[in-house]
Amino acid sequence: MWITLAYGLLWLALITYLVYPWHECHPRCWGGIGISLGAWICLTVGLVERSIAAGHWPLANRYEFALCWVWAGLGLHLLLEASWQGRCSGFFVLVVVLLVASYAVTRPETMKEITLLLPALRSPWFPLHAASAVIAYAACGSAAGFGLAYLFTQRMRERLPPTAALERAMERSVVLGFPWLTFSILVGAIWAQHAWARLWGWDPKETWALLTWLWYLMVLHLSPMPHWRGRRMALLVLLGFGLVGFTFIGVPWLVRWVRLESLHGF
């Protein structure tokens, strides 16, 4: 119930963000922020209830991970809104959050069932690895939202913040997410050493996680260069988020379709 309510509120918040710039009496769009906060609270309650019922962190499958991703992404969005002056770009960040939320709510009912943790997941390294990945993905999603906003500035100049502000927001989101992505990979390697007696095995999931990490490392190195700023940087950030999405959704599908060997459940 709480998850469904949160999903509905996210759509309502998106609509509010879409229409508010036409109403000059609401320059800061407190309505959209308030509805987003309500969705975050509902999602928090839903995740806590699920965690209590399951007896473990709600990160055991792609459905639970996606919900936590939405929770972290929405929380980061609200924190950014608290310090943001021209809140029009919140619409684009919320689009990314809703994309992940839509993936979660459309999962099969069998995936939404509460189950016991698999033996390999009963490790103190599991919540550290998964939670840090959630934060990293949420930050990458925020960067992608700001990248979308930047690409729309030519058509909606009067309704969006200055391009320099959007560039800073993009870069700060990547700077926030990259250490968490690094930490997730390092903790995952330590966990793999304890569980499978090897730090790295070029598992498909590990390989794509490394490619994603290298991509964002490249983005950080290119961001100070004037030639790569602006529209090119926005495109690089959006492509990076595409890598994040493929690592999360595409790799498990590829493993099943090509029948690759993988020790990762999701």
Is 252 inside a domain boundary? yes
Let me know whether 57 and 173 are in one domain: no
What is the pTM assigned to this prediction? Answer: 0.89
- Please check whether residue 120 lies inside any domain of the structure: no
Q: Is residue 19 in a domain?
A: yes
149 and 258 fall within a common domain: yes
The pLDDT, as a whole number, for residue 25 is 44
Residues 225 and 164 in one domain: yes
How far apart CA 111 and CA 64 sit, in angstroms, is 9
Q: What are the Cα distances from residue 123, in Å, to 63, 126, 133, 144, 264?
A: 20, 5, 16, 32, 14
Of 89, 113, 137, at which residue does a domain stop?
Answer: 113
Residue with tokens 């309500």: 38
Alpha helices in the chain (DSSP H): 2-19, 30-54, 62-83, 90-105, 109-112, 125-151, 163-196, 204-222, 231-245, 251-258
Please give the backbone phi and psi of residue 34, each rounded to the nearest 5 degrees, phi first. Answer: -65, -45
What does each of the 266 residues of the chain score in pLDDT, given as a tens digit?
A: 889 999 999 999 888 887 765 444 444 567 778 888 999 999 999 999 998 988 888 888 889 999 999 999 999 888 887 776 545 567 888 899 999 999 999 988 888 888 777 777 778 888 898 899 999 999 999 999 989 888 887 665 555 567 777 888 888 899 999 999 999 999 988 888 887 777 777 788 888 899 999 999 999 999 888 888 888 999 999 999 999 999 888 877 777 777 666 666 56
User: Which residues form the domain of 200?
Assistant: 126-266
Do 73 and 180 have their domain in common?
A: no
What is the distance between the terminal CA atoms of the chain, rounded to a whole angstrom? 25
Asked whether the beta carbons of 233 and 219 are under 8 A apart, the reply is yes
Are 200 and 224 members of one domain? yes
What's 235's domain CATH number?
1.20.120
Q: Point out the domain boundary residue: 113, 145, 164.
A: 113
Based on the fold, state whether residues 109 and 130 are members of the same structural domain. no
pLDDT attached to residue 260:
63
Residues 186 and 256 in one domain: yes
Q: How many Å apart are CA 140 and CA 133, to the nearest integer?
A: 10
Q: Do 132 and 246 fall within a single domain?
A: yes
Whether residues 88 and 50 share a domain: the answer is: yes
Final residue belonging to a domain, choices 83, 113, 143: 113
Within-domain flag for 118 = no
Rounded Cα gap, residues 204 and 227, in angstroms: 34
Say how many domains are in the chain: 2
Residue 19 burial by Cβ neighbours in a 10 Å radius (0-12, 13-18, 19+): middle
Residue 149 has phi, psi (to 5 degrees) of: -60, -40
Contacts of 107 (CB under 8 A, 6+ apart): 62, 63, 66
